């Protein structure tokens, strides 16, 4: 029976931890593409220049056929428009005079290097100008030709734009693209799993079919290649389907820098070091306040306080405090530490630590009290019998003997402080920030794992793009707390062994 219950518990634990561990580890170990290595090199200076150069050359070579196909396709489209342009040229030459000058001026913009869009603008312009003539009936043929070509090419262009967009999502900026400020638009997909996702989006158009009113809508996948049947672009899809590995060069990578680097562009790239460090600061800070106050309070309650009504009331107050929801502590911290006594001008690690310390204080006091009460009376008797004062007895005999229990309490509360979100929302946490120096903790807010997990899952602009970061953070936090607990168990065992002899 006992064995069975342990088995069930272990199974439950594994069931709970499995997704955290497996998905969380994917932030550290994954198949990284050449884009990842390029990001690492350009943004963080990790990797060798020659290697990156060589790889970029290879990747570009592998991608070039697709780009060439796009250029060829655009040329075809332009050629179709060119016929209309030629017609207008002929018309202008035939008309002469003012109309010729006006048309030629407009047509100048449709030169060989101009883009399809430019051609379309020019033709729209020309058509408008022709339609503006009072004897426009004379130009009906040309206007019809322009309208027909324009319509066809516009449809084609829309498809091409969509396709280029999908390709851009996958590979990063295409040759000739205007690069925007946003860092995420500078690079393609860094992770192979995301590559496959975007490959699919490139190969298929996702559309919603609402034709059946009974259903809320069906997601339809239409092969995008259908849009480009018979054009120069048709082979591009088979090419991307078959040669994605050469285009992205995925390699299984242990990305331990995820832990030690900061993030770029709202966690699109880089790691979680500011968050880890922030959590570390907050936890240590909370401990710095909570341990001395908590242990001294416990000593007072156990060794000095007379068992009066006030003291028992105090004890129940402490127990009650342990059950107060953490968000209440968070708001209290904001109202007291920041608004009333202004420990810092803005949110800060200091204010957050104080709030967290307040939250875990009851746990520390209770655990320390239990531990002190568990010290055999004979130790105390022996020390007092040898002429030790009360304080000396506490210091030299009771505290050392109670240390394992006190430590356990401390580490359990440390785990709690590290993982608590609500108290730091209003007092310490920001979504994006850099790693702080110890001095900055006095007046600067910090990102922290629990808050950023919440933030990334709910408020981030592209939640789906950075799932791996969320899970990486969760995994890191769980590992951190687990590590703390293991340290506690080991420490406790060590000290107990030393005490037992």
Partner 1 sequence: MSTVVDAAPKHPNESSHQAGDSGITMHRMKSFAGRDDSTGIESLEVHVQSREFSIFYGDNEAVRSLSMDIPRSRVTAIIGPSGCGKSTFLRAINRMNDLIPRCHTAGELIFDDENVYDPMVDVVQLRQRIGMVFQKPNPFPKTIFDNVAYGPRLQGERNRSRLADIVERSLREAVLWDEVKDRLHDNALGLSGGQQQRMCLARALAVNPEILLMDEPTSALDPRSTASIEALIGQLRGDYTIIIVTHNMQQAARVSDFTAFMYEGLLIEYGNTTKLFTNPANKQTEDYITGRFG
Could you tell me which residues come within 8 angstroms of residue 496 by beta carbon, excluding any fewer than 6 positions away? 404
Contact 414, 287 (CB under 8 A): yes
Reduced to 3 states (helix: H, G, I; strand: E, B; else coil), residue 254 is: strand
Helices (H), 111-176: 116-131, 140-171
| 400 interacts with partner 1 by CB under 8 A | yes
| 395 interacts with partner 1 by CB under 8 A | no
| 500 interacts with partner 1 by CB under 8 A | yes
Give the integer Cα–Cα distance in Å for 59 and 244.
10
User: Taking contact as CB under 8 A, which single stretch among the options 218-226, 249-257, 386-394, 435-443 is the one that binds partner 1?
Assistant: 386-394
| 155 interacts with partner 1 by CB under 8 A | no
Task: Pick from 147, 396, 431, 440 the residue near partner 1 by CB under 8 A.
Answer: 396
| 167 interacts with partner 1 by CB under 8 A | no
Other C-beta atoms lying within 10 Å of the C-beta of residue 265: 18
User: Taking contact as CB under 8 A, which single stretch among the options 77-85, 324-332, 358-366, 382-390 is the one that binds partner 1?
Assistant: 382-390
Place of tokens 């091409």: 160
Give the integer Cα–Cα distance in Å for 493 and 142.
93
| 379 interacts with partner 1 by CB under 8 A | yes
3-class SS letters over 271-313: CCHHHHHHHHHHHHHHHHHHHHHHHHHHHHHHHHCCCCHHHHH
Q: Which two tokens stand for residue 125?
A: 């312009």
Shortest distance in whole angstroms from residue 486 CB to partner 1? 24
Could you tell me which residues come within 8 angstroms of residue 335 by beta carbon, excluding any fewer than 6 positions away? none
Residue nearer to partner 1 on the CB measure, 196 or 388:
388
For the segment 333-352, give every residue that binds partner 1 (CB under 8 A): none
CA angle 283, 284, 289 (to 5 degrees): 100
User: Taking contact as CB under 8 A, which single stretch among the options 119-127, 319-327, 363-371, 372-380 is the one that binds partner 1?
Assistant: 372-380
| 382 interacts with partner 1 by CB under 8 A | yes
Task: Pick from 84, 153, 367, 397 the residue near partner 1 by CB under 8 A.
Answer: 397
Q: How many helices (H) and strands (E) does the chain have?
A: 19, 6
CA angle 42, 30, 199 (to 5 degrees): 80
Task: Pick from 54, 109, 241, 498 the residue near partner 1 by CB under 8 A.
Answer: 498
Site string for partner 1, 279-318 (x = CB under 8 A): ---------------------------xx-----------
Shortest distance in whole angstroms from residue 491 CB to partner 1? 16
Shortest distance in whole angstroms from residue 385 CB to partner 1? 4
Task: Pick from 384, 399, 435, 478 the residue near partner 1 by CB under 8 A.
Answer: 384
Which residues contact partner 1 (rule: CB under 8 A)?
306-307, 376, 378-389, 392, 396-397, 400-401, 498-501
């Amino acid at each position: 029976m006992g064995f069975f219950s342990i088995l069930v518990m272990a199974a439950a634990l594994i069931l709970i931890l499995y997704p955290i561990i497996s998905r969380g580890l994917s932030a550290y170990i994954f198949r990284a593409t050449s884009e990842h290595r390029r990001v690492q090199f350009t943004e963080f200076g990790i990797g060798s220049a020659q290697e990156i150069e060589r790889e970029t050359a290879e990747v570009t070579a592998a991608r070039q056929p697709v780009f060439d196909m796009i250029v060829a396709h655009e040329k075809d489209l332009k050629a179709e428009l060119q016929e209309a342009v030629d017609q207008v040229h002929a018309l202008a030459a035939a008309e002469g005079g003012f109309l010729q000058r006006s048309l030629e001026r407009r047509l100048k913009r449709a030169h060989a290097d101009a883009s399809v869009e430019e051609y379309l603008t020019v033709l729209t312009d020309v058509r408008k100008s022709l339609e503006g003539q009072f004897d426009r009936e004379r130009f009906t043929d040309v206007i019809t030709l322009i309208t027909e070509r324009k319509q066809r090419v516009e449809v084609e262009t829309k498809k091409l734009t969509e396709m280029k967009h999908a390709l851009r999502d996958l590979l990063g900026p295409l040759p000739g693209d205007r690069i925007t400020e946003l860092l995420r638009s500078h690079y393609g997909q860094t992770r192979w799993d995301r590559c496959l996702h975007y490959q699919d989006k490139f190969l298929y158009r996702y559309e919603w079919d609402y034709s059946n009113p009974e259903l809320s809508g069906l997601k339809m996948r239409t092969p995008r290649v259908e849009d480009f049947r018979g054009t120069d672009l048709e082979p591009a899809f088979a090419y991307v389907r078959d040669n994605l590995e050469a285009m992205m060069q995925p390699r299984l990578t242990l990305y331990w820098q995820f832990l030690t680097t900061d993030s770029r562009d709202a966690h699109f790239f880089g790691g979680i070091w500011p968050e880890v460090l922030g959590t570390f600061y907050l936890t240590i800070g909370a401990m710095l306040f909570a341990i001395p106050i908590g242990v001294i309070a416990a000593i007072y309650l156990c060794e000095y306080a007379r068992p009066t009504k006030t003291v028992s009331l105090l004890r129940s107050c402490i127990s009650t405090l342990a059950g107060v929801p953490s968000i209440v502590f968070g708001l209290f911290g904001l109202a007291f530490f920041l608004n009333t006594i202004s420990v810092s001008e803005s949110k800060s690690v200091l204010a957050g630590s104080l709030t967290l310390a307040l939250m875990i204080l009851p746990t520390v006091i209770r655990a320390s009290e239990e531990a002190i009460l568990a010290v055999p009376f004979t130790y105390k008797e022996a020390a007092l019998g040898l002429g030790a004062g009360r304080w000396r007895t506490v210091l030299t005999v009771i505290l050392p003997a109670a240390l394992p229990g006190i430590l356990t309490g401390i580490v359990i509360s440390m785990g709690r402080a590290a993982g608590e979100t609500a108290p730091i929302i209003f007092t310490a946490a920001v979504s994006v920030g850099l790693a702080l120096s110890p001095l900055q903790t006095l007046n600067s807010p910090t990102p922290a794992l629990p808050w950023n997990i919440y933030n990334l899952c709910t408020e981030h602009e592209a939640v789906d793009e950075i799932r791996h970061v969320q899970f990486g953070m969760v995994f890191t936090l769980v590992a951190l707390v687990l590590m703390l607990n293991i340290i506690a168990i080991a420490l406790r065992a060590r000290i107990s062994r030393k005490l037992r002899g």
